[in-house]
Structure formats: C-alpha cells, structure tokens
Structure 1
Amino acid sequence: MTAVEIPEIFSGTELFMIKFPNVKSIPVLYQWLRDHCRCDECYNATTNQRNITILDFPENIAPSKYDCSEGVLQVTWMGGHKSDYQLSWLLKNAGFIGDDSEEEKIPRIPWQKLPDIARVGLKPYLNNDAGLSSIISSVLRYGIGIVTGVDPTLAATEEVITRIAPVQKTLFGEMWEVNHNGNDADVLENGDLHVFQDTAYTAIALRAHTDNTYWCDAAGLQVFHMLKPAPIGGETLFVDGLSVTLKLKAEHPEAYERLTHTPISATYIADGQHHVYRDPIIKLDPVTKKLLQIRFNLYDRSVMRTVPQNKMKQHYDDLRMIASIVAEKTRENYVKLQPGEVWIVDNWTVLHGRAGYQGSRHLGGSYVSRTDWQSKATVLGLINC
C-alpha cells in the first residue's frame, strides 16, 4: 500500500473523526473499527472470514487509548483488546462509496455500432493471463469479447469457456447445441435428442432480448459459437442495453425511474418445468445507482398482474418507450457468426437476437454465472474490490 501522511484524529462519543491531508474528514464509528479488527483472534486470514461477530463486543465499545504513527492507527479498546489499522486501508474502506466516489477500473462504455471488441487467438487466450485479461476487459468495457481460431466443436467451445469459469448447469443442460435442420425445433445434447419449448429452437426471427428473465439469477455470460451457419439468414443481432437505458433516462426520465421500480413477471413453462420470477426491467446497482442489469424480454413476459389497472396504461407507455429504443435501426448490429469464433457476451447488459433463416443452422454454447466470471475478473485485478 502507498504511504499515507499522518492524519488529525479527534475522538468523540461514538466515533473517530479522521482528517487525512487533502481529503475531507471521515467519520469512523467505533463499532465499525472494532468489527474490522484483523488480528489473529478476530480474523482468520486463511479463510478470509471473521472469527467474531458483533455480539462479541458491546455496542458502546470505545477506545481507552489510541496512537497514530508509521502509517498505522493503534487502538486499545476498553477491556484491553488491541487493534492495528493501516491508514491506507482506512482511507480506502472507511469512507462511504457513493454515486461517483469510486473510480471504476474498467468503466462500461455505451455504444450503438459494435465497437473495437477484443479479438484474441486461442493460444494466447488459453496460455497466458494477458490474453484472458484482454477478453474479460473487453466484456467489462463493451459487454463482448471474441476468441478466434477455435475448432468448430462443442468440446473446443467448452475449453474456451472454462478458461474463465465453470459452465453454468441449467434446465437446458451445460454445454448445449441448437441444431435446427430447417424443419424441426431440436436441440442435441450429449447425443440425446431433447425438445425445448422455446422459440430459440426454431428458425423464426427473434427481436433483441436478454435471456433468463424468468430466473432470479439470470446467466451472467451467454456464449455463442456458430458451428455451422445457415445458408440463408440467421445473422445474430446485438444491441447495447446500456446505451438504451441512457437514452431512456435522458429523454424520458420519469419512465426510466418507473422501470427501475416496477416489478415485471416473466415465465418459462415446459414439460416438468415452471419458472417464474419478477423484477424491474432496469436494475440499478444499490450503491452506485448505475445500470446493473437490463431484464428485457418481450417474449417471456407473464400475465401482467404486478401493476394495478389504474397504472397499467402508464406502464404500457413506458414499456413501449424502452422497446422502441431497443428496436431503433441505428443501434441494431447483425453479424453472421462464423465457425472458429467464440463470442462471449454479457447477458446482463447486451441484448441479442437473430434474423430468421432457411436451411440447417448449428449453434453451440453455454451460460456462465455472473458471480463466477466476475470472480475471475477480480482475481485478474480488473475489478476494484
């Protein structure tokens, strides 16, 4: 940690007021400090878990004495327990993280036309962290990264995915294939033929959407590998959800606000399956208030009974507003995916769809949970923690 100049510290009834040079004063509650003691008695550095709880010290905890020198705040608590706190650690963690007070290491950038997405060859992607970091950085920045030079097989696709995180097992299996022969809606999985009651397993066009709005934890990444493109049509559609929400917020702020609070129910029903979940279409980070997730799928919406009828007209107006922005031709990007290219797409911020097609089309891929790929990004130092 970088050296921090000795601050001025004032002790009050319930907290310290710490004035770091060139930084506004930071109030630090005694309970918070005691709770964050990192001595061996209070904290297990091997498991990164606390050994004590807030019930192990009184709510009126207070220091009996304290000293600050050589970059460390030393506190002796009433009862005799001693705690040391690095000043650099306090400066980073004691202040409230609000709207724009924390700089994102790799900020998400909105786009209308596909930007300069990272394209990394298979060998550097698999064999060094720089290649992997380039792909994940592109996903963090734009919501998409592409690995090239991959054999057009499901096994090779899985190798690309598991370099980031385990494949997410869902009702659709783990690795899946949408193998449509132009007549039947089929999916081939592990050599067995399964039919899923979902329009994805047809040849019709699909408007831009995000997947799994009927799950409480929608897949974090959607991975596409076109093992065999359709001879006619079948282009994949990408729309940036961040740019959609920013335009809605700028032009229709009241609609934007309502869509961040109005719970919408989505459903998936099939033989032996009935998934239902309700959440706002626009989910904001509870701290930064920036876009966390867009849950936009006009196909999976359930019976609309989460909005009172006297507010229903307003809701449909709001829904039409965001749907019309999603459908703007200027933000639609159709790409003829090719064998050998694995597209890794953030399902929480990038919408996808496809053009209708004729003939055989064979798409492979899978899902990856958000918590897993974000963990890898954090380990690589690409996300602040």
Structure 2
Amino acid sequence: MQLKTATLINDGKAVKLGWTTGETARFHALWLRDNAPDGATRSATNGQRLITLLDIPADTKLTKAEISAAGDLTATFAPEGKSVSYPAAWLVRHAYDQTPARQAGWLAPEIETWDAGLQAKTPVILHEQGKTDRAAFGQWLAAIRRFGFGVMTGVPRQSGSLIEVAEMFGFVRETNYGKWFEVRAEVNPNNLAYTNLGLQAHTDNPYRDPVPTLQLLCCLENTVDGGDSVVVDGFRAGERLRAENPHGFALLTRHCARFEYAGSAGVRLQSKRPMIELGPDGEMIAIRFNNRSAAAFTDIPYDDMADFYAAYRRFAEIIEDPAMEVTFKLKPGELFIVDNTRVLHARKSFSSSGTRWLQGCYADKDGLLSTLAAIEHGQKEAA
C-alpha cells in the first residue's frame, strides 16, 4: 500500500493523505509527532516511548509532508525541525479520521456472537497438540477470542493439571478460593457450586473488581447421572435484549447492579458495576450476571426501578432460552475455558450417587491475547 498525495491543512496543524487505493485520512501534527516511530522517540527494543507528551512543543505543526519513492510519508515538524518517516501501511491501519454511526452495544470485528448453533463447531484442541503445534494452538486461542469459549481434550487426569494448561498461554489468578478450587458436592459448602444442585447460567465472581476474565474447569472424574455443563453467549443475549427492548437494554447498561460475597470467614467482597457494561464509545465490553451473588440494588432511581427489573427479568429469560445453550457433559481429561466477562456457564443438577470431580481456576485475557498476538506476529514475520 502506497501514498499518492500529502497536503498540509489548517496552517500545518494537520495533513490530509491519499492512498493509491483511493482512501483518504487526516492526521493532526501533534498526533503524528507523539506517535513518531524513530529511535529517538521510541525504543527499538520494546517499542515504548522514550519521551513524554510534555517533551513535545505544544505549538507543534508540520512544515513539510512529502511522499518518498517507496510511497511512505516523510513529515517535518516545527519548531523542532525534526523529520520522521511513517510507513503508508502503518498510517492506514491507525487512521482515526472517521465518524462511524455505531449503535450502543456494538462489538469489535473479531467478536462473533452465537447461540445453540455453536454446538457443532465448538473450538476443540487436543492437549498434546496444543503443547507441540504452535499454529494449531494459535488457531484455538483465536477461536476463544472470537467465541469466548473453547474445549481441550486429553488433559492429564491429575490434580492441578489445569494450572499447566493456564500457563500454556498466561498466568493463574489466585483468589480466596486458592490457586485452584475443587468443584464437587460438600456438606455445608461455602459456595453453592459445591453442591449437586443445578446452577443458573452466570458469570463468576462479579463481586470482584476486577473480575477474573477467564475461567478454566477441568474434569477428573464424572460418573454421575446429569451434571451437564451449559454455556451461553452473554453478548448475544445482550443483542437480543437491545433488539426487543432498547429502553431496557439502556437501563441495564446505564445503572449499576451490586454484588457481594461473604461466604468465608474474613472475606467480604463487594462490587458495583452494570450487568451489561459498555465502553465510553458504546462498545459492549462485559457481562456480569449472577443472581446468587446479587446484592440489593440501590443505585437505580425509584422511577426507573420497575423498568429495570422488567429488563433484568427479560435478560434472564433470554439467557435461559434453550435456543441459546451449548450443552455438553465433560468427560475425565476434558477442560473448558470461558471468557468470564462474556460467556455465562451453568450446570444441570446431578444424582447423589457416583462421583463428579472438577477443578477450576481463574486466569486473565491479557495473557491469552498476548500469546495469541505473539503467535500471529511470528506467522506474519515468517510469511
């Protein structure tokens, strides 16, 4: 990709660029200077800035904008008299000169929402393949980024083996439940997960701030009747609610719910966040839904409370719609991972006879996404 034109505008405070593809975009001089890729501005080793914004003159402007023989931009800045080259392809990837008409609740392009139809195309990888085939492992991680859910088979049936899986892409988030936790029926449990009761689809630990963004559950034994696992795409549920009831969707995004946990001595966890969280630009970025851990809602005005509860109820009905569910029974040596800010998980009730032993742990998406980005970067470098 090459540049074709470069025209200074607004007395050099910006430049308008045109590519050979016909695309155009404007860039502010101060933005270009702040993002200069030269060795005096950014470390060649790690890409981090070597200067602060205050090191750049506030009256920075462009005195020249020229196109090189390779079709890239060479920009000269005053008052520094500094010239910097910018690859045309980099500029088009980082163009911000756009005013997209985005509906509240929009999703990033790498996200694909789903319902029960994902059952036939669940992302699955064999444990040994994940360890030895980096390309296949990257494809699996990319599918988790896209769908928020994946399954690994052939995991060693040893206590704590899920930790090794988490460390294949990132780091374990240790909590008051420990580095990992046992999921099997107990007498007088400190959490309803440790019973044979069915559990409504939920995200884990909404009472934490921040919440663990990934959860892994690994099956070591399973001879009970029932106990099937269920996953539901909270983003798809949010899309359905928005389509049916825009006002109710807005209430669940605008007002905070409260969550709390006080099931263990010396532990009292509390948070206040919306059930459907949007970024400042309206992007849907997180779902928090856990009826068991919901505290009294006290941040919704009286005049909105009835409509808030109606939206909350409808959101719950959508989440529990069988058409939204992907259902499976974990076998020993199988593990599933969910994006805990997006995908809700549930469990069917199971018999009191037999054994059902799962272990769970938490991790965070930054590690997974970092490993995925490194794999993808390496593939581009090799291409």
* TM-score, normalising length: structure 2: 0.88
Q: 1:97 to 1:235 in 2, by over 3 A?
A: farther
Q: In the TM superposition, what is the alpha-carbon distance from 1:11 to its structure 2 partner?
A: 3.4
Q: Percent identity?
A: 26
Q: Quick check: 1:334 aligned with 2:324?
A: no
Unaligned runs of 5+ in 2: 378-383
- What SS class does the counterpart of residue 300 from structure 2 fall into? coil
Q: Which amino acid aligns with 1:224?
A: L
Q: 1:108 to 1:305 in 2, by over 3 A?
A: same
1:91-148 residue CA offsets vs partner (Å, 9 max, x unmatched): 2113247658999674423223424112222221111212212321221232221111
- What SS class does the counterpart of residue 173 from structure 2 fall into? coil
Q: 1:135, 1:147 within 8 Å by CA — same for their partners in 2?
A: no
Q: 2:214, 2:337 within 8 Å by CA — same for their partners in 1?
A: yes
Q: In the TM superposition, what is the alpha-carbon distance from 1:248 to its structure 2 partner?
A: 0.8
1:291-315 residue CA offsets vs partner (Å, 9 max, x unmatched): 3221111111112111122221111
Q: Quick check: 1:178 aligned with 2:209?
A: no
Q: 1:126, 1:160 within 8 Å by CA — same for their partners in 2?
A: no
**Residue aligning to 1:275:** 269
1:364 aligned to which of 359, 366, 372: 359
Find runs of 4+ consecutive structure 1 residues off by over 6 angstroms: 100-105
Q: 1:264 to 1:169 in 2, by over 3 A?
A: same
**Residue aligning to 1:108:** 112
Aligned residues: 367
Q: 1:334, 1:354 within 8 Å by CA — same for their partners in 2?
A: no
**Residue aligning to 2:161:** 156
Question: Residues 346-361 of structure 1 correspond to what in structure 2 (within 5 A)?
Answer: 346-357=339-350, 358-359=352-353, 360-361=355-356
Q: Which amino acid aligns with 1:57?
A: I
Q: 1:184 to 1:274 in 2, by over 3 A?
A: closer
1:43-78 residue CA offsets vs partner (Å, 9 max, x unmatched): 112132111112112222112333221222222222
Q: Quick check: 1:263 aligned with 2:256?
A: yes
Q: In the TM superposition, what is the alpha-carbon distance from 1:210 to its structure 2 partner?
A: 0.5
Q: 1:224, 1:342 within 8 Å by CA — same for their partners in 2?
A: yes
Q: Which amino acid aligns with 1:279?
A: R
Q: Quick check: 1:76 aligned with 2:76?
A: yes
- What SS class does the counterpart of residue 362 from structure 1 fall into? strand
1:234 aligned to which of 206, 222, 227: 227
What is the rounded CA distance, in whole Å, between the counterparts of 2:323 and 2:35 in structure 1? Answer: 50
Which of 170-179 and 99-108 deviates more? Answer: 99-108
What is the rounded CA distance, in whole Å, between the counterparts of 1:106 and 1:83 in structure 2? Answer: 32
Which of 42-51 and 9-18 deviates more? Answer: 9-18
Q: In the TM superposition, what is the alpha-carbon distance from 1:244 to its structure 2 partner?
A: 1.0
Q: 1:67 to 1:52 in 2, by over 3 A?
A: same
Q: Which amino acid aligns with 2:360?
A: G
Question: Residues 364-383 of structure 1 correspond to what in structure 2 (within 5 A)?
Answer: 364-381=359-376
**Residue aligning to 2:338:** 345
What is the rounded CA distance, in whole Å, between the counterparts of 2:376 and 2:2 in structure 1? Answer: 22
2:192 aligned to which of 196, 199, 202: 199
1:348-377 residue CA offsets vs partner (Å, 9 max, x unmatched): 221111122223421112111122222222
- What SS class does the counterpart of residue 131 from structure 1 fall into? helix
* TM-score, normalising length: structure 1: 0.88
Q: Which amino acid aligns with 2:201?
A: A
Q: 1:264 to 1:248 in 2, by over 3 A?
A: same
2:309 aligned to which of 301, 316, 327: 316
1:149-189 residue CA offsets vs partner (Å, 9 max, x unmatched): 122212432222211111111111112222435x453xxxx
1:143 aligned to which of 134, 148, 152: 148
1:254-302 residue CA offsets vs partner (Å, 9 max, x unmatched): 2112211111111111311111111111123444x44322111111111
- What SS class does the counterpart of residue 200 from structure 2 fall into? strand
1:322-370 residue CA offsets vs partner (Å, 9 max, x unmatched): 0111122332343221101111222122111112222342111211112
Q: Which amino acid aligns with 1:361?
A: R
Q: 1:291 to 1:349 in 2, by over 3 A?
A: same
2:202 aligned to which of 202, 209, 225: 209
1:12-59 residue CA offsets vs partner (Å, 9 max, x unmatched): 322112233444431211111111112221111213211111211222
Q: Which amino acid aligns with 2:58?
A: E
Question: Residues 8-157 of structure 1 correspond to what in structure 2 (within 5 A)?
Answer: 8-13=6-11, 14-69=13-68, 70-78=70-78, 79-96=80-97, 106-113=110-117, 114-157=119-162
What is the rounded CA distance, in whole Å, between the counterparts of 1:157 and 1:297 in structure 2? Answer: 24
Q: 1:97 to 1:372 in 2, by over 3 A?
A: farther
Over aligned residues, Cα RMSD in angstroms?
2.4
- What SS class does the counterpart of residue 43 from structure 1 fall into? coil
- What SS class does the counterpart of residue 345 from structure 1 fall into? strand
Q: Which amino acid aligns with 1:38?
A: P
Unaligned runs of 5+ in 1: 186-196
Q: Which amino acid aligns with 1:11?
A: I
Structure number with higher helix proportion: 2
Q: 1:97 to 1:339 in 2, by over 3 A?
A: farther
What is the rounded CA distance, in whole Å, between the counterparts of 2:140 and 2:122 in structure 1? Answer: 9
Q: 1:115, 1:142 within 8 Å by CA — same for their partners in 2?
A: no
What is the rounded CA distance, in whole Å, between the counterparts of 1:98 and 1:143 in structure 2? Answer: 28
Q: 1:98 to 1:345 in 2, by over 3 A?
A: farther
